Amino acid sequence: MPSHRKPRTRIGTTAPALGVTTAALASVSLLAQSADAAPAGPKPSIEEVQKKVDDLYRQADLATQKYDAAKEATATQRAKADALLDQVAAGTAKLNDTRRVIGSYAAAQYRDGGATPTMTLLFSDDPQAFFDQNQLMGRLSDEQQKTLSSFETQRAENAKKRAEASRSLAALTTSQQTLQAGKQDVQTKLAAARTLLSTLTAQEKARLAAIEKKKQDEAKRKAAELAAQQAAAAKRKQAPPAGHAPSSPSSPSAPATTKAAKALAFARAQMGKPYVWGATGPASYDCSGLTQAAWKAAGVDLPRTTWDQVKVGTRVATADLQPGDLVFFYDDISHVGMYIGNGMMIHAPHSGAYVREESIYYMPIYGSVRPA
């Protein structure tokens, strides 16, 4: 909010300012010498760098979801403000039409007998006062009385709409400020990650890549275990008890399976496209933008953010995941991917990466849902 403090009077202090500047320069020089003399802190290990980079990307993911929510809120608030402003404009036009009709009554009275008290009251700031004076109401016809009553009602309604539009515009300003702050937060986190990575030597980058590969291999191993468990469970489910014929799949699940297949086909078609925070396609996506677009292609409308998508559909256990299900990650639910089977998913990972397949165990799982 703008400050309402009285601005301080500026006083010319040219000579003292020069003295302060000189002292400040001397202080900076001493600090620089102290910094040179002090031993440099220990350089972080590659493992610490990797952990820090991963944490920055996760924080950027979280900031991206906040940005997405603010962007959606801003669009909603803008639409509401525009609709209210349109209503105010329409109400003002209608009010002016009624005012012209009242003017014609006043003009007629003037032609018949000059500026009467009735005409004066017609153009007063408080037409309601006109109605309170019963001795003058007899001078107006029923139609004129109805027009005046309508004018007063319209004016009150229009004033109410104007006040509502003002509040809506103020809320829009707040949403825009939140949006800008969210954008800055994402950019700050990503810049910090890039800066940290840029300090590594070629040898350190190779070691970092080896650590990353080890992490991915472990995640793939866990995915293979889940795939084996799911295959065994499916086999047990298909095997009929002794003396019973195999059961046929139930028909109610067919529509959901068809929708999931469409969503999955869409997600596969986006493989290789870049992650861009705040993006919803078609050239790039963030994590929730991808899942939203994929299920929209299947005829299912999902909310914009991970925090809202996790509330849609049916919660499912990791062991019961089916292709098309959404898997959410971290305690703050800042990331999401689409399950494709065998413990793997398609997701938009983070800035600098592309839509790709990855083990669902690459990140800590929060929970999963089946949208349809």
Question: How far is 119 from 142, CA to CA, in rounded Å?
Answer: 16
If residue 91 lies in a helix (H) or strand (E), which one and from where to where? helix 46-113
Question: How far is 232 from 77, CA to CA, in rounded Å?
Answer: 51
Question: How far is 354 from 272, CA to CA, in rounded Å?
Answer: 5
What value, to the nearest 5°, has the Cα angle with vertex 334 and ends 296 and 257? 35
Active site residue ranges:
287, 335, 347
Q: What is the DSSP string of 150-185?
A: HHHHHHHHHHHHHHHHHHHHHHHHHHHHHHHHHHHH
Those residues with Cβ within 8 angstroms of residue 355's Cβ, 6 or more apart along the chain or in another chain: 267, 270, 271, 272, 273, 274, 275, 285, 290, 346, 347, 348
Joined together, the tokens standing for residue 259 give 């929708």
Identity of the residue numbered 208: L
Question: What angle separates helix 46-113 from helix 142-198, to the nearest 10 degrees?
Answer: 160
Nearest to 51 by CA among 208, 187, 202, 213: 208
Joined together, the tokens standing for residue 17 give 């300012």
Joined together, the tokens standing for residue 63 give 């900031």
Joined together, the tokens standing for residue 243 give 């003396």
How buried is residue 318: exposed, middle or buried, by Cβ count under 10 Å (0-12/13-18/19+)?
middle
Identity of the residue numbered 94: K
If residue 341 lies in a helix (H) or strand (E), which one and from where to where? strand 335-341
